[in-house]
Amino acid sequence: MRVLLVTSWDTSCGIAEHSRLLKEYVERADPGIEIIPSAEALDPDWALTMSRADWGLIHLNHHDALHSRWTPAHVQAIEEAGTPVVVTFHDTTAGVSDQPSSAKLKAFTQVASSTIVHEPVGDIKAIYWRQGVPDAPRYQRPLEWEKPPCLYPQQPILGTVGFNFPWKNYDRLCQLTQEVGWGLILLANNATPADVDRWQGLNPACLAVPGFLSTNEVLGYLSACDATVFAYECANTGTSGAIRLGIAARKPVLAFQHCRQFRDLLLDPLGRLSITWVDDWGGLARVLSQNLASSRYDPSIVHLAIQDSWQTLGQNYAKLYRVLAEGAPL
């Protein structure tokens, strides 16, 4: 069974990485399924030339900034031609009176065979599957390999990862870790040399690693830390993919509970229990000044990683594909 995956691909992009993990774990769950990622298919007119003989199913990994050319009318045309379409919609809101779902999402749910969202959405009917957590790291990076003089053996180390956007507060995080005596490993995909210099100036015990790293490389760094942190402050749509890498590292995870992109984890009983939620920078400083004992893993985060694993998510998608394309039983 061949699945056309409409997505950005082979680029430094969160949707491309989500698609890479989707392909890896679905094909692992069901070797009879082949997922074909296609950036060319971001043009819906190209996809409309494909027939059911070419694809058993089309999966639109939808983000408004990347897939604005795709409309519900395109999905409806493909469906009417006999090919099922799955839409994973990343730009969600709570779907309540002051945060209603977009007209586009509502229309997709009316024409697609299935629509998947990553958080509870109150005003649509869709499948709710949180973003997946990758497998445990295959290795823990020995910091001694490239440990700069700024990181000391008796100093706790905090880790974080993600694109360098202002609302991720990397400057403030460098300042705070310097104030409380922590080292910081900052994996910032799009950081510039000027960013790295500024961060190391704010905290001399900051190891800033620019460039888009593989998931295994990220987890190698984060699993060598004493804890990970996601000090995001935004009201953006959708849910955070970066925090899943902190969960995958299986060390204590600290996060701001007022960031809207963590809503799905706050609403999940295990997510609310296992992540250390803080209200503000003062609360974060207090947590870092407490006894976050360094260990190989945090048992509650391990439980969360297993509950939300990409392994389970891949099995769910594989089963859904079979049901929609072949009428397989649930």
pLDDT in tens, 49-106: 766 678 899 999 999 887 789 999 999 999 998 899 999 999 999 999 999 999 999 9
Buried b (16+ CB within 10 A) or exposed e, 158-195: bbbbbebeeebbbeebbebbbeeebbbbbbbbebeeeb
CA distance 252 to 250: 7
Whether 2-132+309-326 shares its CATH topology with 143-307 is answered yes
- Kindly list the domain boundaries of the chain, sorted by start residue: 2-132+309-326, 143-307
Split at pLDDT 50, 70, 90, the class of 145 is very low
CB 134 within 8 A of CB 310: yes
- In this prediction, residues 319-325 reach a mean pLDDT of 96
CB 219 within 8 A of CB 249: yes
Return the pLDDT at 139: 65
pLDDT in tens, 256-297: 999 999 999 999 999 999 999 999 999 999 999 987 766 788
Burial of 285 (0-12, 13-18, 19+ CB in 10 A): middle
Query: In the CATH scheme, what is the code of domain 143-307?
Result: 3.40.50.2000
SS3 content of the chain, % helix, strand, coil (to 5): 40, 20, 40
Q: Which CATH number fits the domain 2-132+309-326, given the four candidates 3.40.50.2000, 3.40.50.970, 3.40.50.300, 3.20.20.450?
A: 3.40.50.2000
Edge-to-edge strand list for the sheet holding 2-6: 34-38, 2-6, 57-62, 85-89, 114-117, 127-128
